[in-house]
Amino acid sequence: MSEKDFVQVAKLGKTVGLKGYVKLHNLSDFSSQFKKDATFFIKNTKEMLKIKHYNTSNSTVLFENYEDIEKAKELTNLILFQSIEKSRQTCKLKKDEFFYFDILECEVFEEDKRLGKVVDILETGASYLFEIQSDEKWV
């Protein structure tokens, strides 16, 4: 699998307490994927982290083999990744909803004229802006 087959789902923060919990900053719209026995990849390694416990009330997570504060400190600032395939399985979309990774690289047309392709999606609070790259300029 290449890097294109994975999507960022969370960033790990500082340790919380003495038992190895770390703060989890969810980078996705699907907090339901963070549950006991769920596994995630760490960028640039083949290491996988398996959730032992996830506390939804304060967004802290305990991983197997990191059950003390000193070991858990190694996880600070790491980015967790999930395969696109697994994301499709575990994250359920409602009608007319799409994953970001399905929208990126899509071509955009207006009245049969090609404007370009979507290269980024920017969250602006209540809405989203698509950054479109055309052959001529940014739209």
Number of separate domains in the chain: 2
Whichever domain contains 59, its CATH number is: 2.40.30.60
Does some domain include residue 98?
no
Is residue 53 located within the same domain as residue 82?
A: yes
Domain that holds residue 111: 104-133
Which residues are registered as beta bridge partners of 15? 22
Q: So what's the pLDDT on residue 137?
A: 62
- Looking at the domain assignment, is residue 96 inside a domain? no
Residues 49 and 111 in one domain: no
Is 25 inside any structural domain? yes
The three-class DSSP label of residue 95 is coil
Predicted confidence at residue 93, as pLDDT, reads 81
Its pTM stands at 0.74
**Residue 40 and residue 16 share a domain:** yes
Q: How many Å apart are CA 36 and CA 40, to the nearest integer?
A: 12
Asked if 20 and 73 sit in the same domain, the reply is: yes
Cα–Cα distance for residue pair 120/117, rounded to 1 Å? 9
Residues 59 and 115 in one domain: no
- On whether both 110 and 62 belong to a single domain, the answer is no
- Dump pLDDT digits (tens) for 70-93: 999 999 999 999 887 877 777 778
Confidence of residue 54 (pLDDT cuts 50, 70, 90): very high
Cα separation, 11 vs 75, in Å, equals 9
